């Protein structure tokens, strides 16, 4: 849906621009509007603390290995957009605004179907078997503790809004530079849910599989442990930047830029660990209902943080006419030293702060720019 809206918006901007009489290059334009479709990828998200450990050996037992297979939980971003605009003040000065956003999600397993542990088998030996499951610094390794269900999900959403004063100067015959100072408002929200669950092979606790519920008159039950944590950052701070542009030949130009910001804000974070939780499942609707829980550990914190951000862009533009051009390039935003989500420590029975991380959102862009 979002992709369709972006494409429709680009088409509308193009039609409006074509309908505007061609203007001579130079000072005749008093404003510009640019929209880019962005295909970002994420890097720097904390690793998922879930691993399946397989034990393998050859026929003579000369080579025996415990092989850790980490279960990936990398959020995948959907297509997004970058929007910007400028209004001319006079004498090479402009007011500018820039906005971008990213949303990403990832998951493994579910509470509806048993987890396929064998799908992660390394295949190094003919004789290898699942030996341990490692989660929250805890090993689950025998028939009693080996889970039937594992579920994990991770979501992240970030956006940044920049307002800036821009001064344009000529740096060569066919090139200009825009120097800017301004302010950035940004927000980052992340959430992680992890859990393991058990069923009873004798037919008592058979899990939360939706299919058999349709033929069952009695409610089913799931015994599980799980954690949930949510982070929300709100930032504000000064920003400086430089963007350059050089005509290569005819309608083709090369552009690039860098923006640096130092953001101050508050991190609000909450989380819970639930142990020995019994959940009843309605035989008709499949809805969960908590029967009881033995253990509950909550945390709630609010801390002040400082996060530098570094945005870089490079690309090519092609002028269809004096007041409209299409662009293709690459845009990346890196956030340095973002506090990692709190992680549950089963051994110490407490929540621990994770290591700070540098988060990066970067990908290709295509777009259109209109001058009025």
- Cα(145)–Cα(76) distance, integer angstroms: 32
Secondary structure (3-state) at 261: strand
Any idea where the domains of the chain sit in the sequence?
2-371
Residue 203 parent element (H or E): none
Closest by Cα among 308, 306, 309, 303 to 342: 303
**pLDDT computed for residue 210 by the predictor:** 38
For residues 161 and 99, is the Cβ–Cβ distance under 8 A? yes
- Cα(178)–Cα(314) distance, integer angstroms: 14
**pLDDT computed for residue 232 by the predictor:** 96
**pLDDT computed for residue 200 by the predictor:** 52
Could you tell me the strand order of the sheet in which 64-70 lies? 64-70, 50-57, 127-135, 138-140
225 contacts: CB under 8 Å, gap ≥ 6: 195, 196, 197, 273, 274, 275, 276, 277
Closest by Cα among 19, 156, 13, 176 to 84: 13
For residues 115 and 92, is the Cβ–Cβ distance under 8 A? no
Token duo for residue 350: 């407490």
Q: Which CATH number fits domain 2-371: 2.10.109.10, 3.40.50.1480, 2.30.30.30, 2.40.128.90?
A: 2.40.128.90
DSSP string over 209-220 = -HHHHTT-SSPE
143 contacts: CB under 8 Å, gap ≥ 6: none
Q: What is the mean pLDDT of each run of 10 residues along the chain (372 residues)?
A: 44 41 48 95 80 79 78 89 92 92 92 84 78 82 78 94 93 87 96 84 40 47 88 96 92 95 95 87 69 87 94 95 92 93 81 85 96 88
- For the CA atoms of 328, 329, 335, 340, what is the dihedral angle to 10 degrees? 80
How many residues does the structure list for the chain? 372
- Cα(237)–Cα(186) distance, integer angstroms: 9
**pLDDT computed for residue 21 by the predictor:** 39
- What is the pairing mode between strands 149-172 and 93-109? antiparallel
**pLDDT computed for residue 220 by the predictor:** 62
Helices (H), the chain: 2-19, 210-213
């Amino acid at each position: 849906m979002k992709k369709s809206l972006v494409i429709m918006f680009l088409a509308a901007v193009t039609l409006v621009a074509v309908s505007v009489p061609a203007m001579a290059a130079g000072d005749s334009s008093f404003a510009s509007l640019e929209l880019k479709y962005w295909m970002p990828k994420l890097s720097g998200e904390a690793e998922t603390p879930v691993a399946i450990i397989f034990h393998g050996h050859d026929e003579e037992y000369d080579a025996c290995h415990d092989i850790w297979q980490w279960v990936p939980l990398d959020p995948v971003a959907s297509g997004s957009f970058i929007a910007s605009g400028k209004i001319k003040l006079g004498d090479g000065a402009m007011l500018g605004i820039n906005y971008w956003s990213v949303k990403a999600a990832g998951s493994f397993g579910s509470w509806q179907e048993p987890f396929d542990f064998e799908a992660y088998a390394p295949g190094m030996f003919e004789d290898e078997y699942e030996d341990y499951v490692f989660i929250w610094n805890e090993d689950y390794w025998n028939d009693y503790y080996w889970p039937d269900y594992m579920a994990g999900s991770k979501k992240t959403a970030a956006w940044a809004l920049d307002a800036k004063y821009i001064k344009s100067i000529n740096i060569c015959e066919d090139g200009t530079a825009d120097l800017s100072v301004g302010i950035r408002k940004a927000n980052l929200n992340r959430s992680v849910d992890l859990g393991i669950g058990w069923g009873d092979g004798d037919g008592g606790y058979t899990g939360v599989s939706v299919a058999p519920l349709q033929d069952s008159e009695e409610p089913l039950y799931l015994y599980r442990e799980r954690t949930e944590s949510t982070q929300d950052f709100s930032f504000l701070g000064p920003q400086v930047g430089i963007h350059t542009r050089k005509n290569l030949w005819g309608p083709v130009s090369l552009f690039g830029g860098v923006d640096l910001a130092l953001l101050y804000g508050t991190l609000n974070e909450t989380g819970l660990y639930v142990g020995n939780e019994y959940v009843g499942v309605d035989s008709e609707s499949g809805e969960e209902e908590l029967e009881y829980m033995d253990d509950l550990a909550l945390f709630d914190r609010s801390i002040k943080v400082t996060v530098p951000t570094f945005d870089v862009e490079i690309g090519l533009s092609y002028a269809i006419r004096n007041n409209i051009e299409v662009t293709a390039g690459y845009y990346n935003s890196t956030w340095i030293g973002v506090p990692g989500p709190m992680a549950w420590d089963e051994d110490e029975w407490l929540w621990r702060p994770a290591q700070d991380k540098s988060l990066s959102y970067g990908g290709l862009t295509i777009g259109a720019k209109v001058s009025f």
